[in-house]
């Protein structure tokens, strides 16, 4: 068991470990997975194959908001290898790893968080809104370096047509 679960994002309480049977009684495929459930009903899953929580327990609205921010972040860093020409020295996995670190470093810097604190599963609803707003920026890749269309060597540019999802406004 994880030595210290994170306090609940909703009430600050300390969650208790349980299994998928308690969280998802209609999903036998999740019965063997570990979760942390707070007395207020908020919960969080665990890293695959471990009893270590993914983050802070949350109710449905916050879990959805975190998922939306995570989806935007994933879309950005996972597209990195597709933007580079073939024949380079790095594998697509290495490029994605570098792009992921750079994406999260950028977000941490803009949110004034440390890189360790910049984890969507630890965000509260306001941090999700802020992260979604920041990540409504778009990036382009040119050659072997991430650049923007107008300002040079920064990974993102503002896209006026994009905005955070309505549920995060």
- Residue 62 — very low, low, confident or very high, per pLDDT cuts 50/70/90? very high
Shared domain check, 64 and 26: no
Give per-residue pLDDT as tens, 86-126. 666 778 788 888 989 999 999 999 999 999 999 999 999 99
Give per-residue pLDDT as tens, 12-59. 999 999 999 999 999 999 999 999 999 999 999 999 989 999 999 999
Backbone angles phi, psi at 112, to 5 degrees: 60, 45
Q: Which domain holds residue 95?
A: 60-168
Query: What is residue 53's three-state secondary structure?
Result: strand
Domain count, the chain: 2
Shared domain check, 146 and 111: yes
pLDDT at 136 over 70: yes
Whether the full predicted model's pTM is greater than 0.85, yes or no, is: no
Shared domain check, 141 and 96: yes
Shared domain check, 68 and 105: yes
């Amino acid at each position: 068991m994880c030595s210290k679960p994170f306090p609940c994002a909703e009430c600050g309480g300390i969650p208790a470990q349980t299994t998928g049977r308690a969280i998802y009684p209609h999903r036998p495929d999740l019965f063997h997975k570990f979760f942390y459930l707070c007395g207020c009903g908020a919960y969080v899953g665990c890293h695959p194959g471990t009893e270590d929580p993914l983050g802070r327990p949350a109710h449905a609205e916050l879990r959805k908001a975190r998922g939306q921010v995570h989806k935007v972040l994933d879309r950005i860093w996972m597209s990195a290898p597709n933007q580079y020409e073939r024949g380079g020295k790095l594998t697509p996995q290495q490029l994605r790893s570098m792009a992921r670190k750079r994406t999260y470093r950028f977000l941490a810097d803009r949110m004034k968080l440390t890189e360790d604190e910049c984890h969507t599963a630890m965000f509260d609803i306001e941090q999700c809104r802020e992260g979604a707003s920041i990540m409504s920026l778009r990036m382009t890749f040119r050659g072997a370096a991430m650049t923007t269309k107008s300002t040079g060597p920064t990974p993102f540019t503002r896209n006026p047509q994009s905005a955070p999802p309505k549920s995060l406004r």
